[in-house]
Amino acid sequence: MPLIFDPNLIVGLENAEDAGVYKLRKDLAIVLTLDFFTPIVDDPYTFGQVAAANSLSDVYAMGGKPIVAMNIVCFPINKMDISILQDILKGGLDKMREAEVLLVGGHSVEDNELKYGLSVTGTIHPEKVLTNKGARTGDKLILTKPLGTGIINTALKGGLAHEDSVAESIKCMTTLNKKAAELMTEVEVHACTDVTGFGLLGHACEMVEGQDVGMVIYSSAVPILPGTEHLAQMGLIPGGTIRNRDFRIPMIDRATQISDEHLLILFDAQTSGGLLISVPEQDAQSLLERLHQEGVEAAAIVGEVVEQPKGKIVIG
Amino acid sequence: MNTTVDARGFSCPQPVLMTLDEITKVDTGEIVVLVDTDTSKENVSRAATSKGWQVKDVQEEGEGYRITISKD
């Protein structure tokens, strides 16, 4: 597909970014994103919250502020009670209110399989756009949410997840990345992305691919949801997580330093995951403290950006 | 005597659940598990190992795999 050139297009299709960014005037750009998926939890209201938090996250990951959103709904109206849809939409709306985002419309179609999500539009200063590229040698990497939602959701489907794990996982997925994004934009940040389908290591790979830097991930410092390791050992690993590893393993150095299961958790496909922020070392500790003070409790320094090996991730 | 779990056509985590059910039922011996994805091959092997079973053999069969697990 030929890419269209436009001098006002700041972020387009080319780099697998979280959202598109288009400059409207010298001091204002719009951030546009769309995301929707099938239910990952049974409770409709919770699913609505998760889907909305996940969709909004793409704007936060660019350093933007979401302003308005539209619902996208696929619903099997002949098979499912309409109250289920009402609960999903209510969950979504409550998250939009929390994010101070206005719901301005939407579209629904009849479909055999239920799906829900949002198209979100936000604003940002054209010179303050954060992409997944731009990490510099010496930066520290902060991750703002624990990993494991993919594995726990798979276990939940099989009825094998402990209720504590499920509760923590739901709390993680329904939490907006709003606070983390606001605090991040108060300091000089070099790059950011949100950890979703490719897992922590998959998204880290995107940040270094073709770049003049590499990354070291402090594997033992990465926050992980309770029970995840045990569920991974039991073989409750989503196909997407295994595909993430198989696709990116050539870019990972010293992968055999940790157990297969630990590696898979670092590759676990996340729903509504946290932000992965590349911040200069001198600001890392203060940003981390601010995150903790403001309720982003799981935030942790999980790695650093290094000059060598370029384009690779080292497990440390 | 060995039993066979045919988990072909099922998606994750169903093959793991079927294998764990059979492990609970027979306690010891040999079980053959048929799966049709790489994900299931890996997850079923992991599930068996976590329950103290050994993965004796993995053969490609048709479009999938034939996994033999055992416990004395």
ipTM of this predicted complex? 0.91
Q: Where in chain A is the domain with CATH 3.30.1330.10?
A: 9-128
Name every residue whose Cβ is closer than 8 Å to that of residue A85 and which is 6 or more positions away in sequence: A44, A73, A75
Mean pLDDT of A57-75: 97
Residues of B in contact with A159 (CB under 8 A): 17
Give the per-residue pLDDT at A54. 97
Place A18 in a pLDDT band, splitting at 50, 70 and 90.
confident
A258/chain B closest Cα distance in angstroms:
16
Q: How many inter-chain contacts (A to B, CB under 8 Å) are there? A: 50
Residues of A in contact with B17 (CB under 8 A): 158-160
**Do B43 and A158 make contact, defined as CB atoms within 8 angstroms?**
no
**Do A237 and B47 make contact, defined as CB atoms within 8 angstroms?**
no
Q: Which CATH superfamily is domain B2-71 in?
A: TusA-like domain (3.30.110.40)
Q: Is B21 on the interface with A (CB under 8 A)?
A: no
A240/chain B closest Cα distance in angstroms:
9
**Do A233 and B44 make contact, defined as CB atoms within 8 angstroms?**
no
Domain boundaries, chain B: 2-71
Position B1 pLDDT exceeds 90:
no
Residues of chain B by 3-state class (helix, strand, coil), percent to 5: 35, 40, 25
- pLDDT > 70 in chain A, percent: 98
φ and ψ at residue A44, rounded to 5 degrees: -60, -40
Residues of A in contact with B20 (CB under 8 A): 234
φ and ψ at residue A260, rounded to 5 degrees: -55, -40
Closest residue to A235, CB basis, from B11, B16, B37: B16
Please tell me the CATH code under which domain A9-128 is placed.
3.30.1330.10
Give the per-residue pLDDT at A88. 98
pLDDT tens digit sequence for B10-49: 988 999 999 999 999 998 999 999 999 999 999 999 999 9
- The domain defined by A140-315 folds into Phosphoribosyl-aminoimidazole Synthetase; Chain A, domain 2 (3.90.650)
User: What are the DSSP E strand ranges found in chain A?
Assistant: 9-11, 20-25, 28-37, 65-75, 102-110, 115-124, 140-143, 191-194, 214-217, 252-253, 275-279, 300-306, 313-315
pLDDT tens digit sequence for A154-175: 999 999 999 999 999 999 999 9
Give the per-residue pLDDT at A12. 87
- Give the C-alpha distances (Å, rounded to integers) separating A46 from A53, A84, A87: 11, 11, 9
Report the C-alpha gap between A102 and A107 in whole angstroms: 16
Nearest alpha-carbon partner for A33 in A54, A15, A49, A4 = A54
